[in-house]
Amino acid sequence: MSEWVLGVIGGSGLYDIPGLTGQWRTIDSPWGEPSDQVFDAELDGQRVVFLPRHGRGHRISPSDLNSRANIDVLKRAGVTDILSISAVGSLKEELPPGHFVVVDQYIDRTFARAKSFFGTGLVAHVSVAHPICPRLAGLAAEAARKAGADVTEGGTYLVMEGPQFSTLAESNLYRSWGCSVIGMTNMPEAKLAREAELPYAAVCMVTDYDCWNEDHAAVEVSAILEVMHANSTKAKTLVAEMARRLKNLPRPASPIDTCLDYALITAPEARDRELVAKLSAIAGRVLST
């Protein structure tokens, strides 16, 4: 058993929670610049580390997010588990704007992003068959309901490249695949969290029906922002409730904590020293042995 340190990746205002105390910290990463400083905080005695995914003021486009640096700095901050909070479009009639979906699967359609910490010089393969930590997802769903949200547990998140929204043909294609929601941010974030041995769960806040729904207007930023504002209070309450639950719950070991044990393929004598050095936080546990 160990203590939780919850990393929260989400919007710029999530750290504005009554009773939250903390400070902004700059953490350097060998993978480049993260989206922002981290807000290292405490809430009711539980440590929570916030990272604004797009930077304060929403400066960074989805394709330009340095997810490797973001995950790396959270690992360096001592985070044990990551909660992602993001806005998405709905691909199902029964998931209306304002609904929260705790997804359990992804289809990754991104193509312009660095997707692994590993590569030539140190090859590794981790399983992402089940990219979401069910233990963390269950706790997040309970906290979301406590915050007053209507919640669906389970669903597939189609991650598109963006920054444009879908064409009608694309939206209908993704619906035919059985996807629940569509967004631009959770990949490669979830894959990188797994490589960093950090359990990851995602709460997706529906802002609109994607363009497939002819009974609703085409996706407009103004309408999305209106729903996002309405959801922000629930999101903050969710984080606060999550912190309270974790404070009173010992953290049991997870198989994700040691998923690199049999993932490294490159022989020790053939490993690139510079890449090994960059991986000091992400894979230091296995590389040191």
In a domain, 275, yes or no: no
Section 256-276 average pLDDT: 97
User: Per the domain annotation, does 139 fall within a domain?
Assistant: yes
Q: Which residue has the tokens 């610049």?
A: 33
Tell me which residue range forms the domain holding 176: 6-114+130-257
Q: How many CB atoms lie within 10 A of CB 67?
A: 25
Catalytic residues: 208, 210
In a domain, 146, yes or no: yes
Which tens digits make up the pLDDT trace of 7-28?
A: 999 987 788 888 899 999 999 9
What is the pTM (predicted TM-score) of this model? Answer: 0.96
Q: Is 271 a known ligand-binding residue?
A: no
185 is annotated as contributing to ligand binding: yes
Domain membership of residue 137 (yes or no) is yes
Q: What is the pLDDT of residue 228?
A: 72
Q: Give the pLDDT band (50/70/90) at residue 221.
A: low
Span 175-199, average pLDDT: 98
204 CB contacts (<8 Å, ≥6 apart)? Answer: 86, 87, 88, 100, 101, 102, 103, 155, 157, 181, 183, 186
Residue 53 marked in a binding site: yes
Residue 54 in marked binding region: yes
- Beta-carbon contacts of 173 under 8 Å, excluding residues fewer than 6 positions away, are none
Domain annotation covers residue 188: yes
Residues 6+ apart with CB under 8 A from 68: 29, 31, 32, 114, 117, 192
Q: Is residue 268 part of a domain?
A: no
Question: Is residue 266 domain-resident?
Answer: no
Give me the pLDDT at residue 34, please.
Answer: 98
Q: What is the CATH number of the domain that holds 41?
A: 3.40.50.1580
User: Residue 114, CB half-sphere, CA atoms under 13 Å: how many?
Assistant: 14
pLDDT tens-digit map of 229-250:
778 889 999 999 999 999 999 9
| Domain tally, the chain | 1
User: Is 40 annotated to bind ligand?
Assistant: no
Let me know if residue 125 belongs to a domain: no
Locus of tokens 């089940």: 130
| Residue labelled with tokens 């997870």 | 254
